[in-house]
Structure 1
Amino acid sequence: RAGITVSEGLTILSEDYEDPDGFFACIRDISGKGGTLYDALCATQRVPEYMLNTVRLGERTGRLEDCLRSLAEYYDRRASLSSAVRSALLYPFVLIVMLAAVMVVLVTRVLPIFSEVFEQMGVELYPFTARLLSFGQWLTRTSAAIIGVLAVLAVAAVLVYAVPSARGAFVRLFRNKFGGRGLFREALTAQFASAMSTAMASGLNTEESLELAGRVISGVKSTDKALAKCREMLDNGESLEKSLSASGVLTSRESRLLTLGVRTGTADSVMAEIARRSEERALEDIDRGLSRLEPTLVVIISVIVGAVLLSVMLPLSGIMSSLG
């Protein structure tokens, strides 16, 4: 829109951003020699299929600028939602690790000291305290093995994160296991609606848009099954909005909203609105879950620490009163 060519735009990007692996340079060189942006992106072998198909469609229809702007909005929404989901998973993990650390210190360092004191004074521990002490002794004996297992898991996690193929396999496994429920379903709905909006705005027909958007969220059994049913209904002559609703891809409310969009010729804008609402619901689910989880874990930590301290202090207070 600024009146510059693709190669000039890539030159500006390469000046503003670091390009250690030559990604921008590769695209700039190919497009500068007369190649299309689609050809240049394909040559890098690092661009998702959805982006490639959208760019190719934009070049064929002469709407490349609109397609690129739609892609920018799509990936911006996707990045913000992915960041929120990662935060939702990381926060409880950190709290659980802190809870485990507090418990380990109590049963392996604090309780043995009091146990020795009580043993010297001939005071018997409460059954609850004795069980915790036995658990702490077991942790001490097996600490080397536990640390080894944790180290192996940590190395495996680093490898999964560092190796793209391994990371992709883990993401597919995770999505297939949890993608069809709760927060993750809302995230998939947002991705699907956003992809449909971009495809429709780029000039694709209904079937092509559904096929392209379906690839974005593929890998979840329940979603793949719903999309297959939706395609079957479309092939049988059903409308897009009815097919998406009956197959379970969209809710009835979202389907009614899409019906209005189809009638008014603004289906792509309606899909973008559905994506925005799904993202908002996902973020609300995250906030609601965290608001419940934090006090719950704090209460658990307080109860455990309080129980341990009481089991130690009560016998100690009995000793002090007998001495007094």
Structure 2
Amino acid sequence: MPSYTYRGRNSSGQEVRGQLEAPSRDEAARAVQGLGVTPLEVKAAAAAGRSIKLGGSFQGLFEEKVRHEDILLFFRQIYTLLKAGVPIMRALTGLQESAVNQGMKKVLQDLRESLDSGRELSAAMARHPRVFDGFSINMVRVGEMTGMLEEIFLRLFHHMEFERFMREQVRSALRYPSFVVLAMGVAIVVVNIWVIPAFAKVFKGFKAELPLMTRVLIGFSDFMVANWIYMLLLVVAAVFGFRSWVATRGGRYAWDKFKLRVPIAGKIVRKATLARFARSFALASKSGVPVIQALSNVAQTVDNAFISDKIERMRDGVERGESVLRSAIGAGVFTPVVIQMVAVGEESGSLDDMMQEIAEMYQREVEYDLKTLAQQIEPILIVFLGIMVLVLAMGIFLPLWDLGKVAMGKGG
């Protein structure tokens, strides 16, 4: 992984210099922000200062990646060890020896070596931006400054458990509609490639003029049968094109904004995302992170580019001297009930507690919406199935009925 040197200023205005490893310059800048430093300059470190391993470019392809569960387990275990009075170096050594994931084992080894060379734990974690996000790094830094490191690790454990729960809720919300759409798409393909051609042969045998709807169905079916390979290639290209588009900043923003507008499932995604925002902000605020810095870090954790942009605008408003309430109203993503709770929290000085309640409220609503998701989607599914049956009846079964009556008339 390439190394980058940075120059910036901390919250006290003092100039800070350092070096860290990151996949790209942008990731390095985000890692610096996670340390509570405003980056002024980030550039690649000199090649002489880095060791080059033979085949290193291919090693990363086969190296076991660190999963969310590995980080979750690390936070819980290191909290338990520190709580029991085990020195941090011994704790990291024990965790490294017991780690099953080889990628996590290497991360723990690098953390030990960094601490041994005089770095702080937060700075050592910042060398692995793909493993530890800016929010976690900043929280550990706050724990080091306040002497509450073990408590911070416990809070991060509960926070990541909540993050995983919300992420699974969003996937559950999108899984059923996606399955319904996929099933209907497969049904349309099967009907057009196998069912309609069989009826088309019957119609041609009668040599009668067919209704317009029947001719349209047969024409579309013939087109699919003749060009299915090109249509399959077009679908594959569309999938790859979509993934490449979503990987861009503008594409990710547009797609995340669209997900929030999807009927029924969109409101669940929005509530789950805002629950993660409220929980992250409550944790950062309760741990002593300044509001502006908390909003900057939380914006990176919501996993939705559209909501993240709204949070960054909230941060800009607070930087200009606006209250959190006024900035939240300007964001335009919170319900009046949430706005009222923010107002009460800010006025009473218990904003972190109110944000925690907001997160729990959104969590309850997401769980309820998921329980009733099938009931909400069934009417839409019935309407679409009814349309499909109506089209098939008008295009296929009515001509058969008419031709049957003609044949019976001739027989009489």
* Native 8 Å contact 2:277 2:301 kept in 1: yes
- Please list, as runs of the form range in 1=range in 2, the aligned pairs for 1:106-185 lying within 5 A after superposition: 106-155=191-240, 166=247, 171-178=252-259, 182-185=267-270
Secondary structure of 1:40's aligned partner: helix
Distance 2:157 2:378 in 1: 35
Match of 1:318 in 2: 405
Q: How far 1:225 moved relative to its partner?
A: 5.3
Distance 2:238 2:87 in 1: 48
Sort the Cα spacing of 1:311 and 1:101 in 2 relative to 1 into closer, same or farther, 3 A.
farther
The structure that is strand-richer by fraction is: 2
Deviations 1:262-310 (A, max 9, x none): 5665432321121121233344445555433244224423542464253
- Structure 2 residue 85 is the aligned partner of structure 1 residue 3: yes
- Please list, as runs of the form range in 1=range in 2, the aligned pairs for 1:241-320 lying within 5 A after superposition: 241-245=325-329, 247-248=331-332, 250-262=334-346, 266-305=350-389, 307-309=391-393, 310-311=397-398, 313-315=400-402, 317-318=404-405
Match of 2:181 in 1: 96
* Native 8 Å contact 1:6 1:37 kept in 2: no
Distance 1:229 1:108 in 2: 53
Secondary structure of 1:203's aligned partner: coil
Q: Alignment RMSD, CA only?
A: 3.6
Match of 2:124 in 1: 40
- More displaced 10-residue stretch of structure 1: 113-122 or 245-254: 245-254
Q: How far 1:128 moved relative to its partner?
A: 1.6
* Native 8 Å contact 1:197 1:268 kept in 2: yes
Sort the Cα spacing of 1:154 and 1:240 in 2 relative to 1 into closer, same or farther, 3 A.
closer
Sort the Cα spacing of 1:40 and 1:179 in 2 relative to 1 into closer, same or farther, 3 A.
farther
Q: How far 1:314 moved relative to its partner?
A: 1.7
Distance 1:228 1:112 in 2: 57
Any gaps of 5 or more consecutive residues in structure 2? 1-82
Distance 1:75 1:168 in 2: 25
Any gaps of 5 or more consecutive residues in structure 1? none
- Structure 2 residue 162 is the aligned partner of structure 1 residue 81: no
- Please list, as runs of the form range in 1=range in 2, the aligned pairs for 1:57-72 lying within 5 A after superposition: 57-72=142-157
Give the TM-score taking structure 2 as reference length: 0.64
Match of 1:210 in 2: 295
Distance 2:257 2:381 in 1: 28
Distance 1:93 1:294 in 2: 13
Q: How far 1:211 moved relative to its partner?
A: 3.5
Secondary structure of 2:127's aligned partner: helix
- More displaced 10-residue stretch of structure 1: 115-124 or 242-251: 242-251
* Native 8 Å contact 1:31 1:37 kept in 2: yes
For this pair of structures, how many residues does the alignment match? Answer: 319
Distance 1:319 1:122 in 2: 12
- More displaced 10-residue stretch of structure 1: 29-38 or 199-208: 29-38
Q: How far 1:160 moved relative to its partner?
A: 5.7
Deviations 1:186-232 (A, max 9, x none): 33322221121111121123333333334445974676357535643
Give the TM-score taking structure 1 as reference length: 0.79
Q: How far 1:133 moved relative to its partner?
A: 0.7
Distance 1:8 1:168 in 2: 42
Distance 1:170 1:89 in 2: 19
Of the three residues 95, 110, 115, the one matched with 1:12 is: 95
Distance 1:246 1:150 in 2: 40
Secondary structure of 1:200's aligned partner: helix
Distance 1:170 1:152 in 2: 17
Secondary structure of 1:43's aligned partner: coil
Distance 1:135 1:63 in 2: 68
Identity over the aligned pairs, expressed in percent? 22
Deviations 1:64-103 (A, max 9, x none): 1222222222222222222222233332222222212212
Distance 1:235 1:155 in 2: 42
Distance 1:208 1:149 in 2: 45
Secondary structure of 2:200's aligned partner: helix
Deviations 1:131-166 (A, max 9, x none): 111110111222121111122234557x769xxx94
Sort the Cα spacing of 1:124 and 1:7 in 2 relative to 1 into closer, same or farther, 3 A.
farther
Q: How far 1:53 moved relative to its partner?
A: 1.1
- Structure 2 residue 277 is the aligned partner of structure 1 residue 192: yes
Which runs of at least 4 in structure 1 moved beyond 6 Å after TM superposition?
Answer: none
The structure that is helix-richer by fraction is: 1
Q: How far 1:62 moved relative to its partner?
A: 1.0
Q: How far 1:27 moved relative to its partner?
A: 2.7
- More displaced 10-residue stretch of structure 1: 165-174 or 120-129: 165-174
